[in-house]
Amino acid sequence: MSIELNPAAVKFAQRLIEEGKLKNDEGHWGQHNPNTKVENDYLDQHEIAEYGQWHLGLDMSKGEDIKGRYHFPYGDFQTVHRDGLIAAKERAAQQGYKDIEKAADELLQQLEKQVAS
């Protein structure tokens, strides 16, 4: 499985951070990461492309209309989470996806600057 960076998700996350739609949470991403029910409820009301914007990685071997195409979530379908970006960065580093790791790190830095200002 080869996962590529999702440029649309990066731009979407940048815009959300600029708009202040973020959570500078401390803790573990597992506490905030939407579960399957929340994901499915979101998909009942939104297009799969909107769902994809919440994920920094794309598995190009899967169809665009399949949830399994989207990897490295960073938010809760409302806000960008600091711990979500940290988790995405760490998992991407562990799995050797340097471009996703770099994008998550840059988004994390943007979020931290936004919080500090």
pLDDT of residue 1: 65
* Mean pLDDT of the residues in the chain: 93
DSSP-based three-state secondary structure for 23:
strand
For residue 117, pLDDT over 70 is answered with yes
pLDDT band at 98 (very low <50, low <70, confident <90, very high): very high
Read off the pLDDT of residues 72-81 as tens digits, 9 standing for 90 and up: 999 999 999 9
The answer to whether 38 touches 84, Cβ cutoff 8 Å, is no
Distance CA 38, CA 77 (A): 9
DSSP annotation of 28 reads -
DSSP helix/strand/coil, 60: coil
Query: How large is the average pLDDT for residues 52-57?
Result: 97
Q: Give the pLDDT mean for 1-28.
A: 91
Q: How many CB atoms lie within 10 A of CB 66?
A: 10
Classify 57 as helix, strand or coil.
strand
pLDDT at 89: 97
State mean pLDDT over 57-66: 93
pLDDT at position 71: 96
- pTM: predicted TM-score of the whole model, two decimal places: 0.92
User: Encoding tokens for residue 1?
Assistant: 């499985």
**3-class SS of residue 12:** helix
Domain count within the chain: 1
| Boundaries of domain holding 49 | 3-116
